[in-house]
Each structure stands twice: as C-alpha cells, then as structure tokens.
Chain A
Amino acid sequence: MRVSGQSRKERTLAQRVRHHRGALFTGVAEGLPIFVGYFPVAVAFGLLAKSAALSFGEAGLFSALVFAGASQFIAVNLLASGVGIGSIIVTTFLINSRHLLLSTAVAARLHGTRRLFPMAAFGVTDETFAIATTRSEPYGTPYLMGLNTTAWLGWLSGTLAGFLAGGFMPSKLQAALGILLYVMFLGILMPQVRKDLRVLAVAGLSGVIHWALRATGWLPDGWALVCAILVSVALIDGLKGRSRKA
C-alpha cells in the first residue's frame, strides 16, 4: 500500500518537473529574440561605461543589478558629467517607475508559486513584458523565469563583451546593429496587428502622443512614455465604450 502510494506520488512529481521544464524552455526560446536585440545595445552600454572610466566590474554590476537600459545610459552620462549620486538615483526612479505599469500587466496573467514572484519580478522589462503579455495563453513562474533569465544574460554578456571587445567591431556594423532593438519591438507588434487592426490604432496613437511629448520637452523621457501609454489606452477604451452604447 505504502509503496504504491509513494510511487504514485513520485510519478506526479516527475510529471510536474517535466511540465515545469517544458514551460522553462518555452520561456528561454521566446527570450532568444530579446537576447539578440539586447546584445548590441548592451555592447553600446559597455563601450559607454568604458569611456566614462568605469571598471569592468562596475559596468557588469550596473547591468546585472539595475537591468534597465535607458536609465543605465542616462546614469553613466550623468556620472561622467559630475552629477551627484542622489540626483542620479531620483532620475532613475522617474524613468523606471513605469515598471509599475508593466509589472501590473505581467502579474495580472501570472499563475503559480507566489514564493518565486520576487525573483520573477526582477526581470520585468519593456521587452519581457511585451512578449509575456501578448501571448495567447496565461503563463506560470517557470516560463517567466526562462524568459527573463535569457534576456538578462543577453544584457549582461553584451555589456561585458562591449567593455572588452567593442573596439574591435567595425564601426559601420556597430552602428547598423542599433536597429535590432526596434526590429524586436516591431516583431512583437506585427502578429498582433495582423490579428486585430485596433492594435495598430492603439500603438499608432500612443506613438504620436509620445512623439509630440518628446518634441515639446515638457516631461522627462520616462514620464513622456508613461503618459503616452496611459492617454492612448484611456482614449481607445473610451471610444470602445461609446461604440458599445450606440
């Protein structure tokens, strides 16, 4: 009795492990385009860090712990121009507070062990969020960890590679690789647009608002992004509500 009970338990455990491993690999596979998109941008960050007289370890520490592209570029720029640590941290907060929005959307569709949530939350970026939240099925923590870790490895390895070997890359190729980040954004968006043209309306509206806000320079860059997202989503939702009533 006891033996058969144990083997049943083991079987379900083995099945569970296999299931989680599958989800983890799905996450890794879907993270590969992010790895490729991050790598050259991270190379650029590594180059910048070196030119700002940071050490190899310091550059790696930035990418490993902060793991937020735009704010890292801005921080190193400010550091190089002699701005104090306190104001750099406040600026970072303004730029990265948009993660509240991203994490809310990611967490809304997440199922699984709450114990692992703090680790999964660490890897939320514009890109991992975009991949995860545009999936047709909900996902668990193993999927999210696979996705986030792959993206994180691309960011960290690109930073270190840029610091070490960026000087060897032909500058022409280095310049061209900057386009990859945007190809990744487009690659995530396009299948959604083909499924539902309203996606194009939301994305286009948000882009135009963002462009206008950046052109006026009223808001810091991070806030312009947050503002564009909120206003466009609210406008589209309002239009939808009105057409439903009519």
Chain B
Amino acid sequence: MIRPEILLLVLGMTLVTYLPRLIPFVFLKADRIPERWRSLLGHIPHAALGALLIPGCINGVAGNPVASVAGIAAAGLVLWFKPNILLAMVAAVVAALSFIEG
C-alpha cells in the first residue's frame, strides 16, 4: 500500500535530488575542463571523505564513541598494511563488538 501523499513526497524528493545529480552530466564535457580545474576537482573526493569521517565516525556505533573509535582504529590498522576493505570491515566489527556491552 502506497498512500498518495507519501508518493507525492517521494516524487518531490526524487526530483530535487536527481536534478543536481543530472545537470553536470548534461552540461559538462570532460575534455573542455581546464587543467587547473581538473586538479581542484581531483581534491574534492578527498575533502568529502575527510568531512564524512570527521566527526561522523564517532557515532558509527550509535551512542558509543569508544566502540566506534576502536572499530575505526582496527580498520585503519588493517588498511595500512593491506588495501582490503572487506577484511577491514570484519576487523572493525569484531573490535566494535568487544566494546559493546550486553
């Protein structure tokens, strides 16, 4: 069952989310972007990841900053030696679990 007002809400949210996603694809030609701008754009993902990690990762395990930091630290340790995200995920969950009570 999908209520009409929820459908309206989802369609409205879809529109305002999709348009910013679409516009650069339509109006941008990769080989026409100047070198300087390309280098700037290259830094954007690193900045975005930094901002997503700090301060968010403190709340990876909701309401438990100690478990969150333990998990992220374990993942960081694994990733430093081996660039294997899935392995780091296992390490992080095991480390976080050992700091969650109950």
Give bound CA distance, A118 to B50, whole Å.
28
Instruction: Report chain B residues within 8 Å CB of A111.
Output: 30
In the complex the two chains form, is A210's CB within 8 Å of B60's CB? no
Chain B nearest CB, measured from A1 CB (Å): 37
Residue of A186, A202, A205, A210 ringed by the most chain B CB atoms within 10 A: A186
Give bound CA distance, A188 to B14, whole Å.
27
A61-B10, A103-B21 as given contacts; A206 in contact with B5, CB under 8 Å? no
Instruction: Report chain A residues within 8 Å CB of B64.
Output: 175
Q: Which of A93, A121, A190 contacts B79 (CB 8 A)?
A: A190
Q: Is A173 an interface residue (CB 8 A)?
A: yes
1/0 per residue, CB under 8 A from B, across A38-54: the answer is 00000000000000001
Instruction: Report chain B residues within 8 Å CB of A130.
Output: 45, 48-49
Chain A nearest CB, measured from B82 CB (Å): 10
Q: Is A153 an interface residue (CB 8 A)?
A: no
Stretch of A7-15, A18-26, A161-169, A228-236 with 4 or more beta carbons under 8 angstroms from chain B: A228-236
In the complex the two chains form, is B20's CB within 8 Å of A100's CB? yes
Instruction: Report chain A residues within 8 Å CB of B23.
Output: 100, 103
In the complex the two chains form, is A175's CB within 8 Å of B75's CB? no
In the complex the two chains form, is B46's CB within 8 Å of A225's CB? no
Chain B nearest CB, measured from A16 CB (Å): 20
Q: Which of B41, B48, B85 contacts A187 (CB 8 A)?
A: B85
In the complex the two chains form, is A180's CB within 8 Å of B41's CB? no
Q: How big is the B interface, by class?
A: 35 or more
In the complex the two chains form, is B53's CB within 8 Å of A203's CB? yes
Q: Which of B10, B46, B72, B85 contacts A66 (CB 8 A)?
A: B10
In the complex the two chains form, is B48's CB within 8 Å of A225's CB? yes
Chain A nearest CB, measured from B17 CB (Å): 4
In the complex the two chains form, is B51's CB within 8 Å of A228's CB? yes
Q: Which of B34-90 contact A (CB under 8 A)?
A: 38-57, 59-62, 64, 67-68, 71-72, 75-76, 79-80, 83, 85-86, 88-89
Give bound CA distance, A229 to B83, whole Å.
25
Instruction: Report chain A residues within 8 Å CB of B100.
Output: 172, 175-176
Which partner residue on chain B sits nearest A188 by CB separation? B49
In the complex the two chains form, is B97's CB within 8 Å of A206's CB? no
In the complex the two chains form, is B49's CB within 8 Å of A189's CB? yes
Q: Which of B40, B54, B80 contacts A237 (CB 8 A)?
A: B40
Q: Is A160 an interface residue (CB 8 A)?
A: no
